[in-house]
Amino acid sequence: MDINERISQIGVVPVIKLNNPERDAAPLAKALCAGNVPVAEVTFRAAGADTAIRLMKEACPDMLVGAGTVLTREHVDKAKAAGATFIVTPGFDPELVAYCQEVGMPIYPGCTTPTDYHAALKFGLKVLKFFPAEQSGGLAKIKAMSAPFPMFKVMPTGGISLKNLKEYLSCPVICACGGSYMVTAELIDNGQWDEITRLCLESAKIVKEARK
């Protein structure tokens, strides 16, 4: 099973900002896996993202741990060295996409316009991040965009919660949904690992229901 299929099977991708990776990365990885969500997008919005990726992979070797908010080649190199499984960028940067393909890193660039989709087509990409999802037109726009571009699966992130997760996942265009509702700063900083696991289990249940 390739990485796109694995992410699609899990259905939700927690988007994580870790302020204290040494303290929180390992217990967070275990909490996500216990909640049947063995995947994470660790954003470079916080320093030490590469440390967080490495520690999460060490704690749960079978987990898919990717790097998010990747803006430069240096970020790609750091993520790859730390053992990242995939790269996510907020926008479509042709040079970064080409670089990731050159070094063998799966990349999910942020795409919300026909121009973005068209550019992604030239690179042979199959799954695109749709960010920020709700603010960019949400599911209605994703469906509209899939008419001229039926070859893409989409990973919406931004404004996704337990309330609208099923609606998104019920759409065949959606590969998986990214979200931070199960990994908020408050939950992580207070070490509420059981609550994170509970929210993940609830999310995994919704994935199962939506995919029936």
Instruction: For residues 181 and 75, give the distance between their C-alpha atoms in angstroms, rounded to a whole number.
Output: 25
- Residue 212 in this model has a pLDDT that exceeds 90: no
Of 171, 164, 108, 103, residue with least CA distance to 143? 171
Catalytic residue among 17, 41, 80, 153: 41
Does residue 88 contact residue 68 with C-beta atoms inside 8 Å? Answer: yes
Does residue 102 carry a catalytic annotation?
A: no
The H-or-E segment that residue 40 falls in is strand 39-43
Instruction: For residues 164 and 133, give the distance between their C-alpha atoms in angstroms, rounded to a whole number.
Output: 12
Does residue 85 contact residue 54 with C-beta atoms inside 8 Å? Answer: no
Beta-ladder partners of 43: 68
Catalytic residue among 17, 57, 129, 153: 129
pLDDT in tens, 72-85: 999 999 999 999 99
Spell out the domain ranges in the chain.
Answer: 3-108+159-210
- In the block, which residue shows the tokens 């900002």? 17
Does residue 41 carry a catalytic annotation?
A: yes
pLDDT in tens, 161-189: 999 999 999 999 999 999 999 999 999 99
Bin 11: left if φ > 0, else alpha if -120 < ψ < 50, else beta. left
The predicted structure's pLDDT at residue 170? 97
The predicted structure's pLDDT at residue 5? 97
Does residue 13 contact residue 40 with C-beta atoms inside 8 Å? Answer: yes
For domain 3-108+159-210, which architecture applies? Alpha-Beta Barrel (3.20)
The predicted structure's pLDDT at residue 1? 83
pLDDT in tens, 195-211: 999 999 999 999 999 98
